[in-house]
Amino acid sequence: SCAAQTPCGRLLSTSSRCRTVMPAWVIDKYGSNEVLRFTKNASFPIINYPNEVIVKVFAAGLNPIDVAMRGGYGAATLSMKRDPLNIKQSGSEFPLVLGRDVSGVIMECGLDVKYFRERDEVWAAIPPWKQGSLAEFVVLSANEVSHKPKCLSHIEAAAIPYVATTAWSALVNTGGLRKDNCANKRILILGGSGGVGTFAVQMVKAWGAHVTVTCSQNAERFLRGLGADHVVDYTAGPVEEPLSALEKFDLILDNVGGDTERWALKLLKPWSGSKFVTLVTPFMQNTDRLGVADGMMQTAATVASKALKHLMKGVHYRWGFFAPSGSALDEIRDMVDAKQIRPVVEETFSFSQVPQAFEKVEKGHARGKTVVQIS
Ligand code: NDP
């Protein structure tokens, strides 16, 4: 028999050798929601490298990038990552499985995997160039995976990894924040009410920072409940006006983009190492539009000239990016288990309702995360 019991009492197949196909939501071309297709015959993932693990997916989180990728966002850049030698025909990424967050159970480990065993409960953020979590199983590198917080259900755990590793990469790796250097720092989070914002507020608050956020008026109580010290309603008029009246900031995380760059850098303390980190960058659009080589040149030129312009005014301008990291998730798990961070699940959908889950994310105005229960 292929069946074994997981710690949470669910049935789990002990070997992928038993299976060749699995249920999944896939797309066969880029487009609107109609391209989403349910199949019982998606290819079962295969361990290709000895450091990989196969995870049985119990819950999958959706992010705005899933909606964007459904429409073809990042196709050029991600194809290069999937097939660096450009051997395969264009379109070889299909059928493509979306879904960037996973919470589930390890089902099989490659020969070099030491840190995990079959049946361990894990969570991970799946890089956009890999097959996603809207499927019964997914294959990942062990260094992208982490043991999930014990105190969370799979649904709750799937609300965290992608936004958390993005916020970690932007705030820690790019912004230089650490748990021991945040006390007395003033941090502004532009766009506090969505997935990244609700996580980032809790993280820097747990590290002792003073946190100001911008959001719609109807999200004020919600954000104060997550720890925001000061909330500014961006729908009440030009938000830069009330923000300019406040004491200046040590770090700004921009989840909004648009015209924020025009005014936000003036809100930083000059000549003190203060940083503006934006998550809304033209990197993928450039490579989609101009091709990978020219797009990367254009991107490098743009970011270098902006960084230099702002450096001359005494502030640092940076782009932040999602980065998969099991070790960051290990630290985040400890913060969750210590009750410093809680998951914010706005709405849960069943596996048969994946198109409705995409509609929800596409409508915008998120207040936390949208999660799909897979099994
Ligand atoms: P969400 O869709 O979960 O959240 C966006 C939030 O912003 C919503 O709550 C929305 O609520 C609010 N909002 C919209 N306009 C404004 C505004 N002008 N001022 C303040 N708040 C606003 O997105 P995520 O949190 O997942 O992602 C945030 C951004 O970061 C996205 O642009 C995403 O593409 C980007 N990102 C980039 C990554 C990278 O690698 N560079 C990785 C992950 C995310 P409401 O409209 O009701 O106010």
Ligand 1 centroid – CA 35 distance (Å): 24
Does the structure show a pLDDT above 90 at 357? yes
User: Taking residues 145-171, what's their average pLDDT?
Assistant: 98
Torsion of CA 45, 46, 49, 50, to 10 degrees: 110
- Ligand 1 pocket residues where CB is under 6 Å: 63-64, 163, 166, 190-191, 193-197, 214-216, 234, 255-257, 279-281, 320-322, 364-366
Least Cα distance to 53 among 134, 121, 149 occurs for 121
What letter represents residue 307's amino acid? A
Minimum-distance ligand 1 atom for the alpha carbon of 260: 18
Q: Quick check: 20 pLDDT over 80?
A: yes
Angle at 91 between CA 27 and CA 363, to 5 degrees: 35
The token duo for 16 is 């992928």
Give me the chain's average pLDDT, please.
93
CB atoms within 10 A of CB 322: 21
Q: Using 50, 70 and 90 to split pLDDT, how confident is the model at 17?
A: low
pLDDT in tens, 174-200: 999 999 999 989 999 999 999 999 999
0.90 exceeded by the pTM?
yes
For residue 354, the tally of other CB atoms under 10 A from its CB is: 24
Which atom number of ligand 1 is nearest to the Cα of residue 216?
48
Position in ligand 1 atom list of the atom nearest CA 196: 25
Q: What is the CA(283)–ligand 1 centre distance, in A?
A: 17
Ligand 1 centre from 279 Cα, in Å?
Answer: 9
CA pair distance 10, 108, nearest whole angstrom:
16
Expressed in angstroms and rounded, the spacing between residue 262 Cα and the centre of ligand 1 is: 18
Residue 94 is predicted with a pLDDT of 96
ipTM: 0.99
Lowest-confidence pick of 71-85, 156-170, 267-281, 328-342 = 71-85
What's the confidence (pLDDT) of residue 3? 46
Q: What are the tens digits of pLDDT across the range 102-141?
A: 999 999 999 999 999 999 999 999 999 999 999 999 999 9
Residue-wise pLDDT tens digits, 32-82: 999 999 999 999 999 999 999 999 999 999 999 999 999 999 888 888 788
One-letter-per-residue 3-state SS of 81-150? HHCCCCCCCCCCCCCECCCCEEEEEEEEECCCCCCCCCCCEEEEECCCCCCCCCECEEEEEHHHEEECCC
Structure tokens, 141 = 């590198």
Q: Is 285 exposed, middle or buried (0-12, 13-18, 19+ CB in 10 A)?
A: middle
Average the pLDDT over 21-26 and give the result: 98
The predicted structure's pLDDT at residue 158: 99
Ligand 1 midpoint to CA 83 (Å): 30
Span 277-296, average pLDDT: 85
pLDDT by residue (tens digit) across 219-234? 999 999 999 999 999 9
Question: Given ligand 1 and candidates 254, 255, 361, 363, which is best to mutate, with the most ligand atoms within 8 Å of its CB?
Answer: 255
How far apart are alpha carbons 42 and 45 in whole angstroms? 9
Please give the pLDDT value at position 284. 80
Q: How many H-runs (helices) and E-runs (strands) does the chain carry?
A: 12, 17
CB 151 within 8 A of CB 343: no
Q: What does the pLDDT read at residue 108?
A: 97
